[in-house]
Structure 1
């Protein structure tokens, strides 16, 4: 498509310095800020939604209000429905903070990305990108991702601080039958970042049609991440998925719910894409990782027995045509103070040198459904029940 090939819009772009890009998207909470575990003051924004944006938002409220006044004159709504409901206007007429589309050789360094009306730093249909030593202070702005790659290859995310209202580093690759004909998100290296709060630390989907692949995440620290240090989500009709991931040498503490999430039952609002085959996730390696303090009250998180530390939702148990996940490896992983797993539709995978040092209620941590077959366990403690 014209204007969306890497380099078609711009090449050799550098944005560096210690400045702040402030989106003025949302009002602050009553407290306005917190002091984090390292003594830094961090802004805190109101967690809102389509029903409350007019009272909670600043730029977000203005953009929603303007779209609502004359919705029929709007252009650019993807898969425009007959009735432009508030949820559609809310999801498509708020602006992201920084969007780069069709850029070749992009370098961002040192800048603080603060308070977007929608997403944070969006890098789409681009090539050779680096995001170095940025601060992403978007907590708890609705949909406030840190960095998102869409249809982009050859990227690095290094030395960043994230305190986000949504996923911290996220990948997308189109929806359904026609999205599968687009450009993959691939060949990205994520390392030496401090990832705080947010939803997923390294997140894939839910738009996965053209594949997210060849991603290396290593030497990161994740603290109070809410829904998965590695979060892979899609649906049974999205196509594509994620493959060839290596997630290693990472410390994770005070996770809000699960440490690892791989699901094909992610709930999406209807967007009108043409359905295709089921997405899947495969060839994923998790190595030399520690998970400590999941759902611990000392971390300030709610205690719940309902949040499995490894949550895999795939295969026939979810419905006809839903793919299984395959060729996962968990190698040299330690879990402390966690809930049992909940694993559905995982096949031909290996758990090696995996230790559960403490599990809530002293339960056996291994819970598999009947569709999880061909899996191997080597030197795991405790062993799965027969």
Structure 2
């Protein structure tokens, strides 16, 4: 018998759906609740490194990811004028049978996860959220905003950076700005874009792009963090296009395709890490609820998926939810997540300070670590 026969997963992102799928396909009764009414309408592009692909294959959706996404095995470095400085082989952290990286439209990934979750029996409830939670030594009682009440052997809080679940169990975690802001846009892919290229320097810290499908990509520019909240949609688009005008090569084609203000957004880089056990009794936190970092290493989705895979493995192998299970979960996840958060933030600090730093060494070290299954 699994350690938990009934589980509530709070949050319909990557970590939540992955946990729900792995538990449900083993016979656990899983309720997944998401506050947003439509999980398929959230986000634009996402970069999936090999160690993320390894878990997606375990979830049974790899064929769909291959069809919908765009795979590549190299990384380009360019000067602001578009000159290709280097084409580097990217580490295949998921093993030699998987590509190094897949870019994908995030709603397409959400659709694959949702379909798979429904197929294995997850009860998916959108447009609802927990409003109260109380636990004892044998289970957790949860009240939801739609009036439904439930008792579960375990609650998994996979509800993001501003996690309600984290607050509900009394975990205080400070989320700090890094000092950088990122413009993102989703648009048409020019034929010249066949992988991620990174432009360092110029008018901004980083300009880059990632193909997400046969006809799409997402592009991004990283600047010093600024208050951009006063800009309307048209002004946001104009600002991004102005910043992009300092970069050339494929960026010239991308900039010409940036015409839809609704496909542009701006956020600040943030980070946090819960340095200690990620559970409180029979409530456990995973994904962005306990570790978030700038996307400088493109490991956010991968670390969330690894959390889910390790948690499900331990729950299905254990006889009870107890100290031994949680000690092993902490041992397998905390230091690994810490290394990714620290390295991601370090890259930003080097850029902010104008320091060269050992970027290749830092990136190689993380790639070597995450290539070993979590």
TM-score of the aligned structures, taking structure 2 as reference length: 0.22
> Highest relative contact order (Cα 8 Å, sep 6+), 1 or 2?
2
Name whichever structure is richer in strand by fraction.
1
TM-score of the aligned structures, taking structure 1 as reference length: 0.22
